[in-house]
Chains A and B, each alone.
Chain A
Amino acid sequence: MAIQATATHGGPAHQADESMSRGMAGMVFFIASEIMLFGGLFAGYFYVRGQADVWPPEGVHKLDAVTGGILTALLLLSGVVAHFGVVGAKSGKQGQFILGMALALVMGTVFIAGQAYEWFSLMDEGLNAGSTVYGSTFYVMTGFHGAHVIAGLLMLAVVFVRAFWRDFTPSRHLFVDAGVLYWHFVDVVWVFLYVILYVLV
């Protein structure tokens, strides 16, 4: 019973060591399962694309690879600045940490706004999720990805706020690592989406 009582309030230093690897392991498995989620969507995409005579179907507006490319570059750059922020967190440079997170948040938000803008202009041009399976794959895949970008932005926002509260130290920044790892995952998935949806058509 005595052990139980002390164990309930285990020392923070002790906890930090262990939960570090434990927390990251959880995030890595979570990302692995997310990769399978997108893997299923990609498989579905190639399945319906493979059986189509013409892709995209005739009369459908082609996606603009240039605008998409700019958004892609922006998202990749946000990954770089997020990493810059993590380096700051690890070396105790609070300014660099906060700047990196802020820039990544802004870039990610601009990406989502650009994506939303593209959705609405494509709908104006008549590309609907319900018109052909081409539209279905486009909206469902980018929609799934957009939801993940928003989840990633929420994580970065929590990191950003907690950075202001000085919740992280060079030895204690698990949430930063995990959140930014997730952000990198979101970026990488987008590169694949961009290539198959915008470029290889």
Chain B
Amino acid sequence: MGFPKINIQGYLLRHLQVMLFSLGQLWRQPLSSLMTIIVIGIALALPAGLYVLLHNVEQVSDQWDDATQISLFLQQDVSQDQALALNKKLNTWPNIASTHYQSSKQSLEEFRQLSGLGSLLDSLPSNPIPAIIIIHPNDKDLRQDAIGSLLSRLEVLPEVEQAQLDMEWLQRLRSINKTAQRGISILGLLLSLSVLLIIGNTIRLAILSRQSEIRVIKLVGGTNAFIRRPFLYTGFWYGLLGGLIGWATLLSSLSLLNGPINELAELYGSQFTLQWLSASLLLSLPSIGLLLGVSGAWLAVSRHLNDIEPQ
């Protein structure tokens, strides 16, 4: 069986013709088409841009994750020998990568240098600063709960006064991030919906302005599919071009941000550079636009086509 080859070619050719015809119609009303396309582009670029920024914040906080360390403040009455023995013992624990012992004297010196309060310290009768052991946990992406259990095991050691993990702010940042992510998802959803409605409404107006033409086509035997096709391709072009405009908006906004962000990173002595859109996101913006365009057009056409009948 199978279809004759020429028919399939003819079918594709007709689709191509309608596709170009729809593009030509947009071209014939450049101003109104452009405005619609830009609105769609901005509506798509906004959530995508926020997503990129959020993605970058996540990268930064991931970098900080490597710097996770536990400061073990030792009891005042622990001797240096005891402390060194503890240091050695801790080094053998499986989930500790390395430890560093710093005597109370060294700590005092460090504090003196960094704080500039040397003369005040001299006036104290004894050294108030305890010896510390700085611990780097083993697993780089050590989970929160694992870190927590390590922390509680360290805290109960008799030599230890206090074990401190400076992670709380990181956790807060993470949950702020999570909140922002959800917010951006909701925003993206709402803006996608508005793109759908914008395209739907634009197509609806196009249908209404061509009512008499649709009637004539129905009278000479045009099927609904035939009448639907140019409108679907109009939606296709709106979506695709809107997606490309959104993409361009996003790239130019990010390149505007790139300079200041690099400066900022340099000031903080950080290696951070703005992560650009991943290839998949670059592709997804026009494809999401295209999908929204065709579905918006489909909604409008299926809603209005049956109302227009020859009289």
A in complex with B:
no
